[in-house]
Each structure stands twice: as structure tokens, then as C-alpha cells.
């Protein structure tokens, strides 16, 4: 389904560029404490694209904000874990140093290109702003960089349009500008939080192509947050599946898509329409039930109430992480490596 993945590359023991260990985030709400993220583990290697998938509200975007240390506090709070970037824990950095990481080493693009650009400044000013801030370029060099970046993301007549304002660009063009802005400082990590959700289908493909192309050109690692399984298949080397604030499965994209292990992942992939030609004319599949409230957490697997393979211990004990293959792990009691249970 996708280009063959070089397994040796994803399984070599090079230290990951960005590693999240046991990240937990809570939000204080009127109804009590919401456990928005629990025990999140992620690894992102240099130049790799990692897909982060899951349905709305499962904590994908909060994970991204936590990586930038931009969770609104209060009500949010990072309760546990480490975010190691080149071996240094970002959670321990003073705010002033963290600001030098944001936009410079790790940058981000958003879902809504129509509102992600400041309407009061020309697009050139906005690209220049970050390179002047982080790289200390003078106005002339920054303008040259802005034009160069706009050309790189495929804006025609970049030298002329650099002085135009966001309202003079279409949605797809604005997302290109956002990508130019995010990559202007040549960051090591680009977080793309559903970068195409608000765009036309034809434009979506262009933006995905652009992200891939820019990744190849600059060597930036990409964390792609999406619920578009097609995009995951197309774009990513590895993927991680989240459900209700927890990771449920992680591994090479082609392995997970062809043989999903976690019942939730299986359901999610079955839900994606049009993958199977025999399903034409059939009602779309869905996963029964709804996502549990993040407020009332009982012990056990968060998916237990919707799962068709539920066992008694699913409701009492959180399943441990089990390696089903090299580089592919799943958090589910179905898999025998975890204490030799039945398959």
C-alpha cells in the first residue's frame, strides 16, 4: 500500500531526537480532574515521520502542545514524565530557554490556515519575525530568507507576494505560508496538527506532498497528527494510535495498517471508508459505544466498554505494553507476551 519501509532504519538503536517517556497531563475542571494524557510514550528519530492518530478528543493535540510546553496552566498540568529532546528534558528547561526551542528547533503548523496567520502583518513580516528572533538576521537577510521560503513552498511570484497580507491568500496558500514560517528556522521537528483538515481534498494532497518534500529537503522530523488513515499510510514511517488519553498501539505504519493488533486500531481502520471494494454500498462501519469520560477513571483498559474481546481483568488492570514484533507494541491483554495469557 505504501512505499516499502526500511526496517533497519526504524529499528536501529540510534538515540531518538525526541523521546516522550511516561507523559501524564491533567486538567482541573468543575467536574473534577480530567486525566487527559496518561503514560504517553513516543519516539521520533531524525528525519522520520511519525503519525499520531485517534479520534477527536483522544489527546493528540494536547500531546503536541505538551511537546511545546504550551499546555494552558491552569487548568492544565503536566503531572509526570519526561520529554527528552536531544537527551535534554524540555520539562526542566527555564521558560526563556524553552522560547528559544519553540519555532527554532521545534515548530508547529495548525489545522486552521485561515486563522493561523496574523491579519495585521504581511506574510513576509511574519516569516521574517521568527528568523530575526531566533537567528538574529538583519531585515535584508530576513526578507531574502522569507522570499526563499515562499519559493520553496511553491508560492508563485514569491518576491511580489511576500508583502501581501493573509487575506489575499487562499486557504491552501495560507497553509503553504504557515509551512514556510514553521520551517524558516530549519527546525529539527515539525509538528503538523491536522494540517489539512480545513482544506479541500485536492489541496490536501498538495499540502501532504509539500510536507514530504520539505522533510526530504531539510531533514526535519515530522510528527503528523491526523485522523486521516490515507494520509497516515501515505506519509508516515511509523504510527502511534491513541485512545482516550492513552497510547494503545505503536509501530511501523505498514505493519499496523495491514495487521492491526489492538481491537481499537482494528475498529478505527475498519471505519475508514472505501478501503475495501466489497464494502461499497454497505453501511459504514462504526465502533459501538462512545469514548469514556476522562473524569471518571476506573482501573483497567479505557477501551474495555466498547471492546468485543473484553475479559474480566480488562476492567481491573491497565494492560501493559507488549511487543508483538520488533518495534511494534500494543497495550492489550489479548497478546500472550504479557504474562502468558490466552491469545
Partner 1 sequence: MMTAPPLTPDMPIQPQQKTVSTLSPWREAWRVFRGNKAAMLGLVSLILIMLVMVVGPAWYAVDPFGIVATPFHEPFVDSRYWLGSDYLGRDIVAGMLIGGRATLLVGVSSAAITVVIGISVGALAGYFGGWIDVSLSRLTELFQVLPALLFAMVLVTLFQPSLGVVICAIGMVSWTGTARLTRAEFIRLRGLEYVNAARTMGAGHWRLIWREILPNAMAPLIVSATLVVGVAILFEAGLSFLGLSDPNVMSWGMMIGANRRHILECWWAVTLPGAAIFLTVLSVSLVGDGLNDALNPKMHLR
Task: Catalog residues that contact partner 1 under the rule CB under 8 A.
Answer: 68, 70, 99-104, 107-108, 110-112, 115-122, 129-130, 133-134, 157, 160-161, 163-165, 167-168, 178, 181-182
Query: What interhelical angle do 123-135 and 139-152 show, nearest 10?
Result: 120
Judged by beta carbon, residue 169 or residue 333, the one nearer partner 1 is 169
d(CA 218, CA 213): 9
The distance of closest approach from Cβ of residue 73 to partner 1 in the complex, given in angstroms and rounded to an integer, is 11
d(CA 76, CA 48): 29
The angle formed by the CA atoms of residues 240, 177 and 17, to the nearest 5 degrees, is 35
Judged by beta carbon, residue 189 or residue 241, the one nearer partner 1 is 189
The distance of closest approach from Cβ of residue 199 to partner 1 in the complex, given in angstroms and rounded to an integer, is 15
Query: Nearest-CA neighbor of 195 among 44, 48, 51?
Result: 51
Judged by beta carbon, residue 180 or residue 269, the one nearer partner 1 is 180
The distance of closest approach from Cβ of residue 238 to partner 1 in the complex, given in angstroms and rounded to an integer, is 23
Judged by beta carbon, residue 53 or residue 192, the one nearer partner 1 is 192
Q: What are phi and psi of 231, to 5 degrees?
A: -65, -40
The distance of closest approach from Cβ of residue 310 to partner 1 in the complex, given in angstroms and rounded to an integer, is 39
DSSP letter (8 states) at residue 102:
B
Judged by beta carbon, residue 97 or residue 298, the one nearer partner 1 is 97
* DSSP structure string for 165-196: -GGGS-HHHHHHHHHHHHHTT--SEEEEESTT
Other CB atoms within a 10 A radius of the CB of residue 321 amount to 17
Judged by beta carbon, residue 101 or residue 199, the one nearer partner 1 is 101
The distance of closest approach from Cβ of residue 166 to partner 1 in the complex, given in angstroms and rounded to an integer, is 9
Contact in structure between 312 and 319 (CB atoms under 8 Å): no
The distance of closest approach from Cβ of residue 333 to partner 1 in the complex, given in angstroms and rounded to an integer, is 38
Amino acid at each position: 500500500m505504501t512505499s516499502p519501509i526500511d526496517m533497519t532504519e526504524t529499528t536501529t538503536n540510534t538515540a531518538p531526537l525526541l523521546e516522550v517517556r511516561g507523559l501524564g497531563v491533567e486538567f482541573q475542571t468543575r467536574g473534577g480532574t480530567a486525566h487527559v494524557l496518561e503514560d504517553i510514550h513516543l519516539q521520533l528519530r531524525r528525519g522520520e515521520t511519525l503519525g499520531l492518530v485517534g479520534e477527536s478528543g483522544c489527546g493528540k493535540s494536547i500531546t503536541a502542545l505538551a511537546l511545546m510546553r504550551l499546555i494552558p496552566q491552569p487548568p492544565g498540568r503536566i503531572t509526570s514524565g519526561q520529554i527528552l529532546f536531544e537527551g535534554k528534558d524540555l520539562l526542566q528547561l527555564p521558560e526563556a530557554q524553552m522560547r528559544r526551542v519553540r519555532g527554532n528547533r521545534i515548530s508547529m503548523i495548525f489545522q486552521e490556515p485561515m486563522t493561523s496567520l496574523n491579519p495585521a502583518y504581511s506574510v513576509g513580516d511574519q516569516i521574517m519575525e521568527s528568523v530575526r528572533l531566533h537567528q538574529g538576521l538583519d531585515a535584508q537577510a530576513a526578507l531574502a530568507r522569507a522570499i526563499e521560503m515562499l519559493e520553496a513552498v511553491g508560492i508563485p511570484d514569491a518576491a511580489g507576494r511576500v508583502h501581501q497580507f493573509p487575506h489575499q491568500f487562499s486557504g491552501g496558500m495560507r497553509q503553504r505560508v504557515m509551512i514556510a514560517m514553521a520551517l524558516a528556522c530549519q527546525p529539527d521537528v515539525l509538528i503538523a496538527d491536522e494540517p489539512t483538515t480545513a482544506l479541500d481534498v485536492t489541496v490536501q494532497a498538495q499540502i501532504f506532498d509539500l510536507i514530504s518534500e520539505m522533510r526530504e529537503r531539510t531533514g526535519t522530523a515530522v510528527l503528523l497528527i491526523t485522523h486521516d488513515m490515507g494520509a497516515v499510510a501515505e506519509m508516515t514511517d511509523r504510527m502511534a494510535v491513541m485512545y482516550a488519553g492513552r497510547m494503545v498501539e505503536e509501530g511501523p505504519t505498514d505493519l499496523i495498517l495491514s495487521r492491526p493488533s489492538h481491537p481499537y486500531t482494528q475498529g478505527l481502520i475498519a471505519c475508514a471508508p472505501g478501503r475495501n471494494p466489497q464494502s461499497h454500498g454497505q453501511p459504514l462501519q462504526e465502533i459501538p459505544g462512545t469514548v469514556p469520560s476522562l473524569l471518571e477513571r476506573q482501573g483497567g483498559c479505557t477501551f474495555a466498554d466498547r471492546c468485543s474481546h473484553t475479559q474480566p481483568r480488562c476492567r481491573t488492570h491497565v494492560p501493559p505494553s507488549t511487543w508483538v514484533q520488533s518495534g511494534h507494541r500494543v497495550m492489550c491483554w489479548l497478546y500472550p507476551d504479557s504474562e502468558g495469557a490466552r491469545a
